Amino acid sequence: MLKHPLNYQANTERLFECISHLPWAIFLDSGRPQSEYGRFDILVADPFVTISTVEDSVGLSANIHTEIMRDGQKTISTDDPFAILNDSLVPYRTEQNEALPFTGGAVGYFAYDLARQLEQLPNLSKNDVSIPHMMVGIYDWAVVVDHQEKTACLVSHGFRQSTHDNWKALCGLLDSVAALKIVNSEMKSDFSLTSTITSNMTFSEYSLAFNTVKNFITEGDCYQVNLAQRFSASAQGDSWIPYKKLRETSPAPFMAYMNFGPLQVLSGSPERFLQVMGTHVETRPIKGTRPRSDDLVRDSQLAKDLQSSIKDQAENLMIVDLLRNDISKNCKIGSVKANKLFQLQSFANVHHLVSIITGRLKHGKTAIDLLRGCFPGGSITGAPKLRAMQIIEALEPHRRGVYCGAIGYIGFDGNMDSNIAIRTAVYSSHDGVTGEISFYSGGGIVSDSDLEKEYAETLDKASSLLKTMQYFQS
């Protein structure tokens, strides 16, 4: 294994800026130094394989295929994208590294709409942004920063000859302050919104959708549905600028910045979807929310109110049961347990209830099998999952895209960690300069949900991104 120690810096964004100009640069960000939760940051760029699952929609029909780029050659497949990803990783299998969570492998996003490869869903909502259902690169090297041990290193298994050929230059790039200054001088240094932020639902439209969900619940179609609205604005400039502002003001343990050229993803997610370490499986669904308050007494009251809320606990428990069932598809019988229920976790803008479910992978099952069996995460669909997704498709005006999908890594060693892509913005740049930035916010609706409270909750959850974007309002 190739390994080169780097100078530790508490603020990893400086290291990322050294490589952010490289193709498909991705920063899996634990939110440090502001966040108390995260430990590792992972930085990658310049993958030797890229896998993009795209959809060509014609009327009510859709042609979904996957484009694989390897050594400059593109192949197209209509096979299951999860199987394609698994087959791309198989030749590079390595042993687990006890000290580092990731030493190369797959990194990218799995959009909510990738579920169309798994379930029969109607094609009702508008696909106006039309981003790929999956964008994953296979990376031969990574920078790993350990905030607990205060160490950083560049690491690679050296599967590609190009890695060996470029190793010295890459080490120098990450070592050199002078190189950092050069890269920074070449980066676009501004970002601004060029329109107001608008939602794709008025309150009356949200109210109509809300009441429709309540009717479905009353009729016994479902128990819970996650209903979301989309905020968007025209924008121009470098999306790395607002991402730095987001991580400064609203740190979270499962953040990410992904630069795919004309498409960038800015995620401030607090929620783990699935983690695999060896055979150990963990998921941490979030259900139950209260806003934060600048008044310490009021803030404490809000947290206590959330912890004692029977409604929020019941809502959380529905998703715990759903996820227990989902991970049981690929876990050993009897190994799946709800270790902790309704734990209070507080972030910059909201308090949440978080539960922890664990299990053990069955012999012969992989992290990708687990991901496929659980996708998309139940905490952002509702229960039962398929019916909730059908209702979401009928009631939400636009496709969700990355929102409520997952972002993360699957290592050559078979380990995985991923978030639920909430508090996540997508910037689509039409010409490399101007474009549109959009993000969603939603909440689970159950039988005793209150319209005004649920609507307010979507604004509470969106507050970190709304404030970040409003900072750049011209």
Mean pLDDT by 10 residues, the chain (474 residues): 93 93 96 76 98 77 87 94 96 92 97 93 88 97 95 96 95 74 56 95 97 96 95 94 94 95 95 96 92 92 93 90 95 94 88 94 96 94 94 96 97 97 92 85 94 95 94 87
The C-alpha atoms of residue 432 and residue 416 are separated, in whole angstroms, by 32
Residue 441 identity (one-letter amino acid): S
The secondary structure of 134-196 as a DSSP string is EEEEEESEEEEEETTTTEEEEEE---SHHHHHHHHHHHHHHH-HHHHHHHHHHS---EEESS-
| Catalytic residue chosen out of the listed positions 244, 287, 365, 461 | 287
Q: For domain 2-470, give the fold.
A: Anthranilate synthase (3.60.120)
| Catalytic residue chosen out of the listed positions 13, 271, 396, 436 | 271
Q: For the chain, how big is the Rg over CA atoms in Å?
A: 21
The C-alpha atoms of residue 398 and residue 436 are separated, in whole angstroms, by 15
Amino acid 23: pLDDT: 96
Q: Is 188 a catalytic residue?
A: no
The beta strands (E) that lie in 270-398 are given as: 272-277, 280-283, 286-291, 337-346, 350-360, 382-383
Domain parsing of the chain, residue ranges: 2-470
Q: Is 271 a catalytic residue?
A: yes
Amino acid 56: pLDDT: 79
Amino acid 431: pLDDT: 66
Amino acid 467: pLDDT: 94
Amino acid 57: pLDDT: 63
The C-alpha atoms of residue 32 and residue 333 are separated, in whole angstroms, by 37
